[in-house]
Amino acid sequence: MLFVLAGLILCSCEYEWIQPEKKPIPETVSFSSDIMPIFNKGCNTNVCHGPGATPPDLSEGNAYNSLIDGAYVDTETPEASILYTTMKSGSMVPYTDPGDEEIVLAWIQQGALDN
Amino acid sequence: MKKLNIFLTILLLLPVFLIAQDGETEIARVKSKPVRAPFGCPVVIDNQTVYIPTAKTLEFVIEHRFGKIENISNLFGIYGSSNIRLGVNYSITNKLSVGFGTTKYRKLQDFRIKYNILEQTRDDKMPIALTAYGNMGIDARAESYFGQNYKFTNRLSYFTELIVARKFTDWLSIQVSGSFSHINRVDSLMEHDKIGISFSGRARVSAQSSIIFNYGIPLDIKGIQEHTTLTNPPKQNFGIGWEISTSTHCFQIFVTSATDLSPQYTMMENQNDWLDGDLFFGFTITRLWSF
């Protein structure tokens, strides 16, 4: 049994790199139809970024003002926006679907409009 | 590089081979009595200890990390995003335990094995305890996290550790460990392998209470480094706290800079710098049942 276990470990040890599957980024990113669905996947529950929970409040109707007023978005240097960096390489990586952070970045680069 | 890979594979398989040596170590076993409880818990904050509960003991472990300590508005991290691991371990013999656990981050499912190679004895004929620990993790998130050309083995990661411990006095135990971590498929900016060392200790302040600490250092070793420069090298992790242990329970509360509850990811991906104030409250509860 130990040799089977050793064999399994030996055979399953690999050195591979992640090759991202690119999500299509809309030509014009809409806050309501492209960004909010990302937050609605589980970000804005009552225990995470819902009303009265940890800022920013990402619930429907509050998310845009919360992000802008809380300076989570930097339209002059979009790559430095807290919203983007926490999704790309910060504490929200485990909760971010691959590619969603690039849609958020495109939205910021387009001026972070409430569209 | 090929020789190095063979060496690292042997290191990865060390716990399995050491268990196979059980018969030989039995022969050489010293008859002296082992020291009592160099550590009171199988874990010390973010690291394993040399401690294995006696044979036929089932252990239930709850490990929890709160959010980053910021201010009163997030109640010093308690309102922040958290990580949790639930695990069970079973001691097959006094020297061998196996276990399984599930963790919120990466929906990681892990299988563990721990083997006590040497026990420190009261007469000091054996001055140290030596324990081997290994785990295999399965990242259970959606396939999309692994990019193109997905296959099941992309989900696997490994951690192997040799722990040397000594109970210096009735109140002070210190351990040093060397570890090897491997993740099968990583981001293009990351490494697949990491060798690390850790220092942990327990200082008893009363019959049941102790001050505990852990310090983990991921090493930059050029021989196994795949990138010339590392974009986000893992940070050293530090934790200090309070432990209360009885014969059937162990409770630890602490602050730590590591939020991953899997040692391979702590060694390879921890971006929290405790010197910059990236600290998190956490606790570990263990409950033992003997059969």
Contact A21 B147 (CB under 8 A): yes
Each residue's pLDDT tens digit, B190-242: 889 999 999 999 999 998 999 999 999 999 888 888 887 777 889 999 999 99
Q: What is the mean pLDDT of residues B155-166?
A: 96
> Does pLDDT of B6 surpass 60?
no
> Does pLDDT of B15 surpass 70?
no
> Does pLDDT of B63 surpass 80?
yes
Question: Is residue A83 within 8 Å of A72, Cβ to Cβ?
Answer: yes
For the domain spanning B2-290, the CATH number is 2.40.160.40
Tokens of B88: 């069970």
The reported pLDDT for the residue numbered B241 is 97
Contacts of B157 (CB under 8 A, 6+ apart): B136, B137, B139, B181, B182, B183, B184, B262, B264, B265
The reported pLDDT for the residue numbered A12 is 77
> Does pLDDT of B176 surpass 90?
yes
Whether the bond between A56 and the residue before it is cis, its omega within 30 degrees of 0, is yes
Which residue from B16, B142, B149 is facing A5, i.e. has the nearest CB? B16
Q: What is the mean pLDDT of residues B257-286?
A: 94
> Does pLDDT of B20 surpass 70?
no
Separation of alpha carbons B165 and A4, rounded Å = 31
pLDDT-wise least confident of B14-18, B29-33, B63-67, B260-264:
B14-18
Q: Which sequence spans correspond to the domains of chain B?
A: 2-290
Separation of alpha carbons B113 and B131, rounded Å = 11
Tokens of B60: 């239930």
Question: Is residue B1 within 8 Å of B221, Cβ to Cβ?
Answer: no
Residues of A in contact with B12 (CB under 8 A): 9, 13
Contact A13 B12 (CB under 8 A): yes
Question: Is residue B148 within 8 Å of A19, Cβ to Cβ?
Answer: yes
Each residue's pLDDT tens digit, A40-80: 988 888 778 988 888 899 999 999 999 999 999 999 999 99
The reported pLDDT for the residue numbered B227 is 80
Tell me what the pLDDT averaged over chain A comes to: 85
**Cα dihedral value B62, B256, B241, A47, nearest 10:** -50
Contact B12 A6 (CB under 8 A): no
Each residue's pLDDT tens digit, B87-136: 999 999 999 999 999 999 999 999 999 999 999 999 999 999 999 999 99
Please give the helix or strand (H or E) that residue B236 lies within, else none.
none
Tell me the three-class secondary structure of chain A, residue by residue.
CHHHHHHHHHHCCCCEECECCCCCCCCCCCHHHHHHHHHCCCCCCCCCCCCCCCCCCCCCCCHHHHHHHCCCCCCCCHHHCHHHHHHHCCCCHHHCCCCHHHHHHHHHHCCCCCC
Going by pLDDT thresholds of 50, 70 and 90, the confidence category of residue B14 is low
The reported pLDDT for the residue numbered A3 is 57
Exposure string for B72-108, b = 16+ CB within 10 A, e = fewer? eebebbebbbbbebebebbbeeebbbebebbbbbbeb
Q: What is the mean pLDDT of residues B174-187?
A: 94
Which residue from A5, A16, A21 is facing B184, i.e. has the nearest CB? A16
- For a pLDDT cut of 90, what percent of chain B falls above it? 70
The reported pLDDT for the residue numbered A78 is 93
Separation of alpha carbons A82 and B172, rounded Å = 44
Contact B13 A6 (CB under 8 A): yes
Which residue from B68, B81, B153 is facing A12, i.e. has the nearest CB? B153
Which amino acid, B217?
Answer: I
Tokens of B85: 């691991």
The reported pLDDT for the residue numbered B257 is 95
Question: Any CB–CB contact under 8 A between A15 and chain B?
Answer: yes
- Residue scoring higher pLDDT (B39 or A20): B39
- Is the interface score ipTM higher than 0.85? no
> Does pLDDT of A15 surpass 70?
yes
Question: Any CB–CB contact under 8 A between A9 and chain B?
Answer: yes
Handedness of CA B27, B29, B32, B33 (dihedral sign): negative
Question: Is residue B219 within 8 Å of B196, Cβ to Cβ?
Answer: yes
